[in-house]
Amino acid sequence: MAIELSTVFAGRWEKIRRLGFGSFGEVWLVKRKGEDRLAVAKIPHNTRLNPQFFREAAILKRLSGHPNAVRLWEVLEEDRKAVIIEEYVDGPTLQELLDEGLESATREKAYLELLDFLAFAHRHNIMHRDIKPENIIITPSGLAKLLDFGAAKDLTRRSTSSTVIGSRPYMAPEQISGKSRLGSDVWAMGILLYTLATGLLPFYDENEKNLMDMILECEPEAPRSLEPSLPERLEEIILKCLEKDPDKRFKNAGELKDAIIEGFPQFGDGSTLPS
């Protein structure tokens, strides 16, 4: 059932159109009353979800100092439901651009920006847990923005939850058993870099159980066997991200970023990934 939301809520935000509907709530495009500023309103289905929405808002606030972060405008309550008002990010998703064909310079630049933002998040003890091209928007100015921190976790808060969170093709082996860690984000960034380099996912099957078994048991095909022009060192970096044992991966996004910059100082100009 759709959430009832008045045309103007909290006295200052005008509803324009619904952008999405999910298991936790709805997302609306809204406009500040009397202004031209657009924003996104996230509203939970019920008040039991309020704590989760407040946690997401707290995470967005902690990360708001980074240029690739989505800005948190405010958190309010409407009909006793927590409402997150955040920056509206206009533009296609990275997945949409990849489907159309994306030049290597843009792929490299977007990846490096995302990695820098994720390193920033990891330094603040935040892991995203749902990194995928569909959650990445490229703005008209070319800035990459990582969206959807609804699944993110604050590592400074104690939690006994073992809920499986993430998008299947990008999930690390430990995520399948509900044991996410910073290395799980490193795995997802390895999957993304593999895809940007080869045009293919390292693990994929229409059958969910088969896909989970592949992630847990199978080694990815070597990227250079699919794209021989790929630098050997970059292949090593990708495969280190995709180690089954998280202790064998880069410890966090900062370590991964350092490895890429050290190996490829020019990364971002389009000369490293295949065109």
Q: State the Cα–Cα distance between residues 9 and 254, nearest whole angstrom.
A: 41
**Unique residue bearing structure tokens 């969170």:** 165
Q: State the Cα–Cα distance between residues 238 and 191, nearest whole angstrom.
A: 8
Decide: residue 268, CB within 10 A, 0-12 exposed, 13-18 middle, 19+ buried.
Answer: buried
Closest of 68, 121, 72, 59 to residue 91, by C-alpha: 68
DSSP 268: T
Task: Return the beta strands (E) in 135-217 as ranges.
Answer: 136-138, 144-146, 153-154
Decide if 99 is catalytic.
Answer: no
Residue 84: strand, helix, or coil: strand
Q: State the Cα–Cα distance between residues 92 and 110, nearest whole angstrom.
A: 13
Catalytic residue among 36, 79, 90, 130: 130
Q: State the Cα–Cα distance between residues 49 and 51, nearest whole angstrom.
A: 6
Decide: residue 34, CB within 10 A, 0-12 exposed, 13-18 middle, 19+ buried.
Answer: exposed
Residue numbers annotated as active site: 130
